[in-house]
Chain A
Amino acid sequence: MVRAGRPVVSLLFIAVLGLTVYLVLVPLVVLIVASVNATGAHLPFERPGIFIANYLTVLRDGGTYRLLLNSTIFAVGSTVIGIGMAVFFAWLIERTNIIMRRVLFVAVLVPMAIPNMIYATSWLQLLDAHAGLVPVTLAKFGIPFPVSILSLGGMIFIQGTALASNAYLLVAGALRNVDPTLEEQSAIAGKGVWQTLCRVTLPILRPALFAVIVFFAMVCIETFDVPGMVGLSAGVQVLSTRIYWLTHPEGGQLPDYGTASALALLLVIIALMLITLYEAQLKRGRRYVTITARGYRPSRIKLGPLQLPLLVLALGLLVITVALPLFMLVWRSLLRFYVYPSPAAFGRLSFSAYRALVDEPTMIAVLRNTVLMSVATVVVTLSLSALVAWLTVRSPITASWRRRLRMLALTPQGIPSVVIGIAFVLTYLRVPIPIYGTVWIIALALSTKFIAYTTAALTAAHLQIAPELEEASLMAGADEFATYRRVLFPLLTPALANCVVWVLIQAIRELVIALMLYSPSSQVLSTQVWGLWQNGVMDQLCALGVVSALVLAGLLSLPALLPRRWRWLPV
C-alpha cells in the first residue's frame, strides 16, 4: 500500500480510511438493510430475513409518483428562478459598467446570512392571504392578490429567490474564468456587444452554467427547510419532507422506517444521477475555460441608454427579494402581535420578544448546544478532510488507494441530508455508542454531510502548493510531520480558515439532520426555530431569525478580515 518503508504514514492512512468508512459507508449500509428488513412495526435488525414489502409499497403507491412529480416541479422551478436571477446579476455586476456596482454586489449576497427557514417565515407573513403586508397593501389600491403562498408555486418562489445569492457566486465565478481575450478577439473581428455575448461568451459559458444548474437542482431535490415549513401548512409534500414525516408521524403513530428507507434510497439514486451529470458537465466546462492572471479585469460593456432601466430592474428585484423579507423579519420581531406597518404602529414596537428569548430558561442550553455542536462538527470535519487531502495529494501511499479514499470522502456530496439523518437514526439505535440523543450525534452526522465539500476545497488548495516547497523541507532535514507543521499548515491556513467559516455557517443553518437526531436535551438553534414555527410564536421566531442573521453575517465577513500576510495565496 505504501511505496517506501514509512510505517507511520501507512498506519495513519489506515486509521483515516477506517474513520471515513465508519462515517460514510456504515450508515448507508444500515439504510439499505433497513429498506429490506424493517416492516410495519418492526425496526430493522429485529428479525432476520429480506423483504421487498417496502419497495412494493413504494412502487404501488400512487402517492410516490405524486411525490416524484412534486419534487421535480419544485426543483426545476426553483432552479430556473434562482439561476435566472443569478445570471442577470452576475452579467450586470461582473461584465457591465452599471453604476452602484458595489451596492448591488453586497445586496445580492445579503440573503446568504438568512437561514432558509427564516426567509420562508418572512415570506409566509408578507404574503399571508388575510393579514400579509403585500395582499393588504394591494387591496388598499383595489388590486386583488390572486395567488396563495401556501402552494407548490409559493414554495418554488421562496426557494428560488433564496438560492439566488449562492448561485450568483458560482455563476460569477464561471463568468470571471472566461478568458477576456476570446471576447476581445470577437470585438476585433467587428462583432458588437450583443453578438459577442451570444456567439462567444454564452457558448463558452454553457457547460459551466449547465453544471451550476444541475448542482442547484440537486440542492433543491434534497432540501428540507422551505418545503418543510411551507408544505406543512400548504399540504404539499416532496420526497425529502415525506421521508421526514414518515419517521416523525403526528398523532402518536409508529414511525415507518421501512418505507422511509426505501424512499430514501430512491432519493439517493436521483441525487447520484444528478451528481454524475454534474461531474460530467464540470469536466466539459473545464476544457473550454482558461483561468487568466489574477487581478485582470476585462473591459466592461457600456450600457448607454439601457443603464437606467436595468438599474431600476435590478434594484426592484433586490427590494422584493431582499429588502422586503428583511424588513418584515425585523418589523415582526419588534411586535407582540402583528400590526400593519404605519407611523402609528411605531408606538407599539418593543424588544419584548428579544427579552423573552433571553429570559427563556432553555435558551442558554440551546446556545450552548449550538456552539458545542458546531465546534465539534468543525473539528471532526476539518481534521478528517485535512488528513484526507494530505494523504490523497502528497503522501507516499499508492495511487489506487489514494483514489479510493478520495472517492469515499466525496461520496456524501450525493447523499441528501434527510437520508443522512434517517441513516444515523437507524445506525445509532443499534450501535452501542451512547451518543443517541446528544449533540454529538448531530455533529457526527453533519460531519458526514460536510466532509465532501471540505475535502474538495482542501484538495484544491493542496494542489496549488508546489510539491518542491515540501521537498525542500525534507531536504532541509525535516520529516513529514514537521514539514506539515512548518510549511504546509501555514500555507493552507487561508483555505482552512475559509472551510472553518463555511462549516460553522452550514452547521448552524442545517435543519433536517438536527431535526431527526435531536432530543429535548440536545435542542439547537435550528430545531428551536422549527419549534417556534410549529407553536406559532412568531415574534420570538423572528427575533431569533434576526439574531441568527447577524451572527451568520459576522461569520461570513470573517474571511475578508484575514491578516494581510495571508493574502499571497488565492483562497
Chain B
Amino acid sequence: MIVVSQVTKTLGEDGERTAAINDVSFTVENGTIFTLLGPSGSGKTTMLRCVAGIETPDRGEIALGDTVVYSSARQINLPPNRRRIGMVFQSYAIWPHMTVAGNVAYPLVGRGLERSVIAERVERALTQVGLQGLADRDAPNLSGGQQQRVALARAIVDEADTLLLDEPLSNLDAKLRWQMRQELVALQERLGLTVLYVTHDQEEALALSHRIAVMRDGQIVEAGEPLALFEQPTSRYSAEFMGLANFLPCSVASDARPGERAAAQTAFGTFVGRVCASEGQTPELFFRPHRITLLSGEFDAGTSDTGAGIVSAVSHLGEVNDVTIRSGEQSARLRLRSSSIPRVGESIRFRLEPGCAMIFVPQRVAV
C-alpha cells in the first residue's frame, strides 16, 4: 500500500520557486494499479519521483505499507536505496556497460548472496518478462521493447512488492505498446504487485488501471475508477482530458444544484443530465460522441434526450464515422457505427443514451 498525504513540492532556484505538486493525497491499495494521468507539467512524474525518493518533497508524508519513508513533521526521509521499490524509467535507464544479466542482477549484487542464487533469480525475472536466453547479450544491442523488458526485470528481481512505472510504454510503437500493456497487467496480477503508474495517455490509463487520478497544475483534479471517470466525470477538465467530448452551451433551471438531475436546453434539443459544479463561464452539457443512436421516422419535438441537426461534415475512420452536426451557431460531434452513414446536408435525429450526460454549471450559479 502506498499512502501519500498532503505532499507539496516546489521546484526551481531559491529566487523563483514554483509549486510542482500542491497538497496531493492519494492511496494505492495493495495489489492494484493506480495511475497518475495528466499532461506534461502537471506534476505526475514529480509525484512519482517523490515516492521513489529521488526528489524530496517540501511538506507532507509518504508511507509504503507500515514504513513511513518521508515525513516533514517527523523529519523522516529515507534515501531511495533504502525504500525497496522497483522502478521503470521512461528512458529505461539500461546501463550500457553491462550485459542484460548484469543489469538485472545489479540490485542483488553486493549483498552476500550466492552466485547461483543470483543467477537463478535473474533467470526467473527474465522469464517473467519473456527474455529467457538473452542474459549474455550486451545491453546497447537491444531493441526498444527488449530494453523495456530488461528494465522491468531489473525492477522485479528483488521481489519488492511496490513498482513505480514512469511512462514505460511511451517510447514503443503502437502495436508493441498494446502487447506490453497486456503483459504488464498479467505480470502485476501474477505477482500481486502494487503499482503506481504515470502516463499522459488516457487510453493506456483506462486500459490498465484499477484507479486513475487526473492531475493538473500539481493537483489531483479528480480520482476514480476508469469507467466512471470516463463516463461520468465530475470536472470539465477530466471530462475533456479522458477522451473526445461534446460541451454544448445550454440553459439550465437556476435552482439546479450539484448532484441533482436537471434538464439542459441546447440548440439541438433538451437533454437530462447530472449537475456538476465547474469553473467555466456558462453552463455546458457534456456527453461522449459515441453515446447516441440515430433515430428514423417522425421527429417528436417534445421528447427529452433526443436532438436534431444538419450534418456539416463526415469523416470515415474505419470502424466508426465521425459526424459533425450543426444547429444554429452550435456544432456537435457524433461517432456512428459504419452501418449508418448520413450525408452532408442531411437532417438527422438522434437519441442520447440515458445516464450519459453531465451538466457543468458555473460555480457561482450553482451555489
Contacts and interface: CB of A to CB of B under 8 A. Distances in A.
Interface string A468-489: 1101111111110010001100
A491 to B, nearest CB: 6
Interface of B: 13-14, 52-54, 56, 77, 79-82, 84-87, 89-91, 93, 95-97, 106-107, 109-110, 138, 140, 151, 154-155, 158, 164
A5 B97 CA distance: 31
10 contacts: A6-B79, A399-B13, A468-B93, A472-B87, A472-B89, A472-B151, A475-B54, A486-B106, A565-B97, A568-B140
A41 interface: no
List 8 tightest A-B contacts by C-beta distance, closest first. Answer: A468-B93, A472-B93, A476-B107, A474-B80, A475-B87, A490-B97, A468-B89, A4-B56
Given A3-B56, A486-B106, A479 B89 contact: no
Contact of A4 (B77, B86, B93, B140): B77
Contacts of A535: none
**Which residue, A400, A469, A476, has most C-beta atoms of chain B within 10 A?**
A476
Interface string A305-334: 000000000000000000000000000000
Given A3-B56, A466-B93, A468-B93, A475 B86 contact: yes
Contacts of B85: 475
A473 to B, nearest CB: 7
Contacts of B77: 4-5
A510 B81 CA distance: 45
Given A3-B56, A476-B107, A476-B154, A471 B93 contact: yes
Contacts of B95: 469, 472-473, 487, 491
B93 A400 contact: no
A399 B15 CA distance: 12
B93 A477 contact: no
A466 B140 CA distance: 14
A65 to B, nearest CB: 46
**Which residue, B79, B93, B96, B151, has most C-beta atoms of chain A within 10 A?**
B93
A475 B90 CA distance: 14
Nearest to B141: A568
Nearest to B52: A475
B126 to A, nearest CB: 16
B54 to A, nearest CB: 5
Chain A interface category by residue count:
20 to 34
Contacts of A568: 96, 140
Contacts of B164: 475
Nearest to B151: A472
Interface in A477-528: 477-479, 482, 486-487, 490-491
Contacts of A469: 93, 95
B81 A474 contact: yes
Nearest to A400: B14
Contact of B81 (A399, A479, A491, A565): A479
Interface of A: 3-6, 399-400, 466, 468-469, 471-479, 482, 486-487, 490-491, 565, 568-569
A477 B84 contact: yes
A264 to B, nearest CB: 37
Given A4-B56, A469-B95, A490-B97, A475 B106 contact: no
B106 A466 contact: no
A482 B89 contact: no
A468 B110 CA distance: 21
Contacts of A5: 77
A491 B96 contact: yes
B91 A475 contact: no
A457 B90 CA distance: 28
A309 B155 CA distance: 64
A477 B158 contact: yes
Nearest to A6: B79
Contact of B158 (A4, A476, A490): A476
A28 B158 CA distance: 53
B110 A482 contact: yes
Contacts of B151: 472
Contacts of B96: 491, 568-569
Nearest to B76: A5
A137 B85 CA distance: 80
Contacts of A490: 97
Contacts of A565: 97, 138
A465 to B, nearest CB: 10
**Which residue, A399, A466, A473, A569, has most C-beta atoms of chain B within 10 A?**
A473
A467 to B, nearest CB: 9
A478 B106 contact: yes
A471 B91 contact: no
A400 to B, nearest CB: 7
B91 A466 contact: yes
A311 B258 CA distance: 85
**Which residue, B14, B77, B96, B155, has most C-beta atoms of chain A within 10 A?**
B96
Contacts of B93: 466, 468-469, 471-472
Contacts of B86: 475
Contacts of B84: 477
Contacts of A466: 91, 93
A385 B286 CA distance: 61
Contact of B54 (A399, A471, A476, A486): A471
B154 A474 contact: no
A500 B282 CA distance: 69
Nearest to A399: B13
A477 B82 CA distance: 6
B87 A491 contact: no
**Which residue, A4, A468, A479, has most C-beta atoms of chain B within 10 A?**
A468
Contacts of B53: 474
Contacts of A569: 96
B87 to A, nearest CB: 4
B9 to A, nearest CB: 12
A337 B280 CA distance: 98
A5 B72 CA distance: 12
B97 A473 contact: no
